Structure 1
C-alpha cells in the first residue's frame, strides 16, 4: 500500500462512527476518497430508506479525508460547515460516498461529495450531494 492510503486508513480506522455504521474505505487518491456503506435496517429511517444521518456522516468523512490527502503531513482536518441536498430516497443494497477537493488552501479546503445508491448491479443513482469546507488544524 502507498503512504497516502496508509495515512488516510489509519485515521479512518480510528473513527468509531465509521466502524459502527459498517463503512469501509475503498479508494484514496490525491484529492479524492471513496467510502462504501452497505445497507442495514439498523441504519434505516421509518420508511425503510437509509437514514439521512448515515448518508451525511459518510459524505462528511469522504470530503474530510479527501481534504486530508491535500494537507501537509502532521496536520489534520475538521469540518467547518457543509450543506447537503438529499435528492431522492436512499434505497439500495450499498452506497458509495465520493469526496473530492475542489480547492485546497493552506487553512481551508472546499470539497464536494456525492453518494450513489447501488442495487444488485453496477447501475446507480446519485441520492445526495454535499458541499463542505474543511479546516486544516494541528495534530
Structure 2
C-alpha cells in the first residue's frame, strides 16, 4: 500500500510538463484503483476528429503507473505495456481507470480501461495492461 497521499500524487502528475499541457488531472488515487481524466480539445485530436492514439496511450500509461506506484509504495516506472484500441475516442473527456492485477515487492502488473465521456454517458475506447517496476531512486 502506498505511503504517498492523494495530494502528493496529484503534485507528481502536475510536475510532468506534458500532463499540464493537456490538462490531465488525477481524480482518484486509492487502494481500489486510480483514475486520470483529461479534457478532449482540438489540440489532441487527429485528422479524423478522434483523440490521437498517442494521447489515449499516454492516459493509459500514466494511470497504469499511478496504480502500480500506489501498490508498490515507491518511485516507479513503466517497464512495458500494451494497448488495444477498441473504438475511436470521441467525447468531451477521456478517463483512464487503472488497478493492480498482481503486485510483488518490485513489480506490479496493472490493467487500465480508457473511456470517452460525453453527455450521453461513457464508452470504452481502449484497454491496456502493463508492468510497473520500482526504481531505486527517482532520476
Deviations 1:56-101 (A, max 9, x none): 10111011001111123xx311011111000001111111111111
Residue 80 of structure 1 contacts residue 134 of structure 1 at CA under 8 Å; is this kept in 2? Answer: yes
Aligned pairs (5 A) from 1:90-129 = 90-121=89-120, 123-129=121-127
Cα distance, 1:27 vs. partner?
0.7
Alpha-carbon distance between aligned partners in 2 of 1:78 and 1:135, rounded to the nearest angstrom: 5
Alpha-carbon distance between aligned partners in 2 of 1:97 and 1:105, rounded to the nearest angstrom: 23
Alpha-carbon distance between aligned partners in 1 of 2:79 and 2:10, rounded to the nearest angstrom: 22
The root-mean-square deviation of aligned C-alpha atoms, in Å, is: 1.5
Unaligned runs of 5+ in 1: none
Cα distance, 1:3 vs. partner?
5.4
Residue 31 of structure 1 contacts residue 70 of structure 1 at CA under 8 Å; is this kept in 2? Answer: no
Alpha-carbon distance between aligned partners in 2 of 1:134 and 1:67, rounded to the nearest angstrom: 5
Alpha-carbon distance between aligned partners in 2 of 1:117 and 1:98, rounded to the nearest angstrom: 11
- Equivalence for 2:128: 130
- Equivalence for 2:8: 7
- Equivalence for 2:39: 38
TM-score (norm 1): 0.91
- Equivalence for 1:69: 70
Residue 8 of structure 1 contacts residue 69 of structure 1 at CA under 8 Å; is this kept in 2? Answer: no
- Equivalence for 2:49: 48
Per the alignment, do residues 14 and 78 of structure 1 end up closer, same or farther by CA in structure 2, a change over 3 Å counting? same
- Equivalence for 1:86: 85
Unaligned runs of 5+ in 2: none
